[in-house]
Chain A
């Protein structure tokens, strides 16, 4: 026979603390779901390794959780996440003498390749471009990723990476010239 359920009294203050903690967890979960693709993709395009990208992306979100920052709005959160992800990816490469590895998981599934081909884009070319972006110098790589993945203009990139706008523009010009040159050599001049 079941007796009456044991109700453990929770003090009012403790209860309100629990409610606040649950709300904070809920907000944090919403932020993770909203920005996970952005943070993970910046790290992935920078590091060219899914394992390392996940490691960096997790650390970025944990930093957000630890700091419990109060943000002025959604745009502020996104800008903060972009900045921290770029900085963490750069540190990751510097401190671990990181060399990108291509694992089996990085190879697209045949079904995905077929879908991409039907969308009119050459998956081999895309992969080559990603590899070449991954081989750019560290700051230039971050600039190119923020420009073409995140579609930021040079002023926004300058604010994110805390560098002058002129430097951003020069990184972009030099990187594009370099990428064009490399791709041209690879595919033949008339292919680009």
Chain B
């Protein structure tokens, strides 16, 4: 630490606020509306007009229904995809066995042809 930094530290020492500062802050805080707690928010819900409550409940119901429908659609898509995959695998298996049979037949014919020669 050098002398210049010591001077800076001296110059920027904390100062006491003016007389009555804390009292003025506390007075302003006391005049503020109290922050709402969980109980107050619950009471506010029951204080809401019936129409607003019904609209909010309706919106929530719609949200739930839309969510459930979305989930069902996703599930259906998954099932369809799985079925298509199984079909493709079966088709590949059938094609493979057919190819193997054709291959065996060709080898058999080529062997009998070379024997005849």
A interface residues (Cβ-Cβ under 8 A, vs B): 21, 25, 28-29, 32-33, 36-38, 40-41, 44-45, 50, 54, 57-58, 61-62, 65-68, 121, 125-127, 129-130, 133, 144-145, 148-149, 151, 176, 179-180, 183, 192
Contacts and interface: CB of A to CB of B under 8 A. Distances in A.
A58 B7 contact: no
A41 B26 contact: no
Interface of B: 3-5, 7-18, 21-22, 24-26, 28-30, 32, 34-35
24 contacts: A21-B34, A25-B29, A25-B30, A29-B26, A36-B16, A36-B21, A37-B14, A41-B14, A50-B18, A54-B17, A58-B25, A62-B29, A62-B32, A68-B35, A125-B7, A129-B12, A130-B11, A145-B12, A148-B5, A148-B12, A149-B12, A179-B4, A180-B4, A192-B4
A125 B24 CA distance: 33
A45 B9 CA distance: 12
A38 to B, nearest CB: 6
